[in-house]
Structure formats: structure tokens, C-alpha cells
Amino acid sequence: MSRILHRDLRRDPAVARSGRGLVLTAADGSEVIDASGGAAVACIGHGDERVVEAIARQARALAYAHTVFFTCEAAEELADLLVGDRPGGLSHAYFVSSGSEAMEAALKLARQYFLEIGQPQRRRFVARRQSYHGNTLGALGLGGNMARREPYAPILADCFSHVSPCFPYRERAEAESDADYVARLAAELDAEFARLGPDTVIAFVAETVVGATAGCVAALPGYFPAMRAVCDRHGALLILDEVMCGMGRTGTLHAWERERVSPDIQTIAKGLGGGYQPIGGILVAERVVRALAEGSGAYKHGHTYQAHPVACAAALAVQRIIRGDGLLANVDAMGARLEAALRDRFGHHAKVGDIRGRGLFWALEFVEDKAMRRSFDPALRINDRVKVAALGEGVAIYPMGGTIDGRTGDHVIIAPPYVAKAEDIDRIVERLGRAVDTAIG
């Protein structure tokens, strides 16, 4: 048995040995198409020599220097590239080592912002059910994945509360128009502010496109502007978690670009470094930074490995490749092909209730009864069965249960690298089709 504390302690996972493009090769020589980029991470595919070279160059020159003493060129250039043109008013970047760390940084920065501007009574965050913001205690407390929260509930902070997500397939009433549904959700957020005391709320926090927990759920048009209006009315910040859906995954560098809002603080991670190095970050609006600069003069947070030179060099190379190779256009083109292929293959499938997503970020939600939208018994672990069958077909997709409430519901995510070609998309859907038929008929 392995000495690693693996996710599954009864069964060691296969040993992955190499990766090239979309293909991962295991130690036994078997190959799988990485159709989900792990968990929507491997955005430019595996083994890109340009990134490997950038990592080697940086490690040779300087692997580490503490940020108390130094900044480094790679971090500065990465920040320039991300916020140099002030997208949506975001003017500064801060780099950490994961999505969860990015969320912690966002929560603390938002709290500090209100201390700086003389509103110390603000201590609450409102997030959404069926969200995931990370596994560290702050991020876990913020998240609305009830199953993941439950075991740790006694040790989570009490400053977090949750409202409904914008989840049309599961939560819009039958006769409700999109506009009425959005208005209902805005009223619910407003009521939550009122319940908490509007001047006690620091921020409303949401994934721009919900990732793992509910499975690639994009908001309805008008939803984010409506939520932003509630935040603005009560002087709270808007924090958008783009750890999974951002950095090009949905076709624009930032998912909020298609939502007619921009956040005060945004978190990024997976597609930032594309898996070549562990790196996450926050992008921060100028007015938030200015409050700190004109106030205490410091961001009171820090990690030993923040803005790590090698991680920043890798992310810089990845981001240059996304721009230089025109990969966002490919995300849109291949995303359209993926959507069409999924609808063609699964649109009439009796056990596929919903097909949803944006860009190269798609999910299939499985149901036992399509007309009633009734999910499978969670004990059947349908999503895991599809994952195993898909691996048997040589394709890796990202499985998740608890789609509806953290306990019931099954979906899988298909999120191939942005470099996917038409034949890759076709092969992925063909293999996934066989896998779904094998797993659930």
C-alpha cells in the first residue's frame, strides 16, 4: 500500500507518469484523454515545452525570495499582464498557491477594507447554497456545499450565511419567467441583508459560473447586475470566485465579462497556472486598494510562498500562450462544437436531465426520471460509475454527487484543455456516450 494519504484509502489510484497535450499516460502504459483538465485546471494541455522552459529558467535564476524583502520580475509581469489594462476597474493582483488561499485572501482583504474606511461593524458574508469556495476553514465556511460543511460545522465561523443560487433547471418555478426568477433572487438577497442588518454585510460572494458543486451553472441574463445593485444599495462588496470558471474557461478571460458587472475582488486559480505550478490569486478593484493605501498603508495578510517566483513564471508563460496562440477564440469555437455534440448525443438520453455550460465548461446532470427531474438514489453513486466507465473508455471526466442539495443529484463535468481540436471533442463525446450507456443504460 502507498504511504500517501490518498483520497480513497481502500484503493490506490493509478500512477500518472506523463502528459502531452490532452493525453495522460499511466505507469502501466495506458492512456486517457484528459477531458476535464483534472478539475478544470490543465487549460493549455500537458507538457508544453514553453512552460517547462520558463519554469526551468526561473528556477535556475531564482527559485525563491521572501516577499518581505523582494518582489520578482515574474510576479510583476504577471500582474501587469492581468491588470495592467485595468479590466473592469481591477488594478492590483496578489498571488498565492491555491484557490482556497485566494478565497481566504479575498475574505480578509474585504474585511480590512471596511476597517480602513471606518465601518468595523461589517462582519458578515453572504454566499449561495450549492457553491464551493475551497476547503480551508474560512473558504469552507463560506461555501454552500452542505455535505462538505456538515462534518466541520462546529468549527466553522458564524459570519457566513447562504441564499439561493441562480439554478434554473432545479430552482426556477415552472411558470416563472427568467426576469421574475431573477427578481425573486434579488429580493431574497435583499431580505438576507435586512435580516443580518444591511450595514453588517461585508460582501456577497458567488462563483460567476458555478463549478463543481452544481455543475457548470451559468447565471441567467440580468442576474449579476441585479445582485450587484443589492450590494451597491447596502454598501457591500461583490466578490466573484473565478477559481474554476475564470482565466478563459468560459470563453472570455474573466467569466464576468459576459455578465455586465465587474467585481470588487475576484479570485482566480486553476487556469492561471494551468497545473504547471500551484498558483492562485486575487484581482482587486482600485478603490479597495486605495482605501488601504490611504489608510494603514499595508495589506495585513501574508504567506511564505505568496508570489512564488517559479509559480509566477509558469503562470506568466501559460497566460502568454493563451493570448499568443489565440486560445480564447478556440474555447468559443470548440465550446460550440462540444455543446452541439453533447446535445446531439445526450439530448434525447432518458437518463440525462440537463446539459449546461459555457465555453469549454460543460456538465451533464443525470436523472432517474427525466420528466419529473428526479435524481438517482445517492447510494447508487451514479456519477462515480460514469467516471469509472469513462476511464474504461480512455477518457477522464470530473464526477460529482450532491448536485441538488449536497446529497442528492449526479453530474459530470467535461472541461477539456483550450487547445482541444475538433477531433478531440468528437472523440471525447463518443467515448463519454459509451461510458454513460455502460454505467446507467
Using CA atoms, how far apart are residues 203 and 147, in angstroms rounded to an integer? 23
Least distance from ligand PLP to the Cβ atom of residue 131, Å: 7
CB 211 within 8 A of CB 237: no
The one among 111, 129, 133, 427 contacting ligand PLP by CB under 6 A: 133
Least distance from ligand PLP to the Cβ atom of residue 310, Å: 17
Site for ligand PLP in 222-241 (CB under 6 A): 241
CB 284 within 8 A of CB 92: yes
The one among 19, 21, 134, 248 contacting ligand PLP by CB under 6 A: 134
Q: Residues 48-87 vs ligand PLP: string with x where CB under 6 A?
A: ----------------------------------------
The one among 19, 37, 211, 357 contacting ligand PLP by CB under 6 A: 211
* Residue 128 touching ligand PLP (CB under 6 A): no
Using CA atoms, how far apart are residues 71 and 78, in angstroms rounded to an integer? 12
Cα distances (angstroms) measured from residue 279 to each of 67, 194, 304, 307, 316: 15, 37, 13, 8, 11
Q: Which is nearer to ligand PLP, 102 or 436 (CB)?
A: 102
Least distance from ligand PLP to the Cβ atom of residue 1, Å: 25
Q: Which is nearer to ligand PLP, 38 or 88 (CB)?
A: 38
Q: Which is nearer to ligand PLP, 48 or 207 (CB)?
A: 207
The one among 132, 181, 224, 376 contacting ligand PLP by CB under 6 A: 132
Burial of 153 (0-12, 13-18, 19+ CB in 10 A): exposed
* Residue 39 touching ligand PLP (CB under 6 A): yes
Cα distances (angstroms) measured from residue 199 to each of 50, 363, 417: 49, 38, 43
Using CA atoms, how far apart are residues 142 and 135, in angstroms rounded to an integer? 10
* Residue 99 touching ligand PLP (CB under 6 A): yes
State the DSSP string of 11-29. SPPPPEEEEEBTEEEETTS
Of the listed pieces 68-76, 117-125, 205-213, 387-395, which binds ligand PLP according to CB under 6 A?
205-213
Least distance from ligand PLP to the Cβ atom of residue 39, Å: 5
Helix 327-346 and helix 309-324, axial crossing angle in degrees, nearest 10: 80
Using CA atoms, how far apart are residues 229 and 206, in angstroms rounded to an integer? 14
Q: How many CB atoms lie within 10 A of CB 25?
A: 15
Using CA atoms, how far apart are residues 356 and 292, in angstroms rounded to an integer? 40
Burial of 304 (0-12, 13-18, 19+ CB in 10 A): exposed
The one among 58, 91, 98, 130 contacting ligand PLP by CB under 6 A: 98
Site for ligand PLP in 396-435 (CB under 6 A): none
Using CA atoms, how far apart are residues 345 and 431, in angstroms rounded to an integer? 11
| Closest residue to ligand PLP: CB criterion | 99
* Residue 269 touching ligand PLP (CB under 6 A): yes
The one among 35, 212, 292, 363 contacting ligand PLP by CB under 6 A: 212
Least distance from ligand PLP to the Cβ atom of residue 217, Å: 12
Which residues in this chain contact ligand PLP in the complex, by CB under 6 A? 39, 98-100, 103, 132-135, 207, 211-212, 241, 243-244, 269, 280
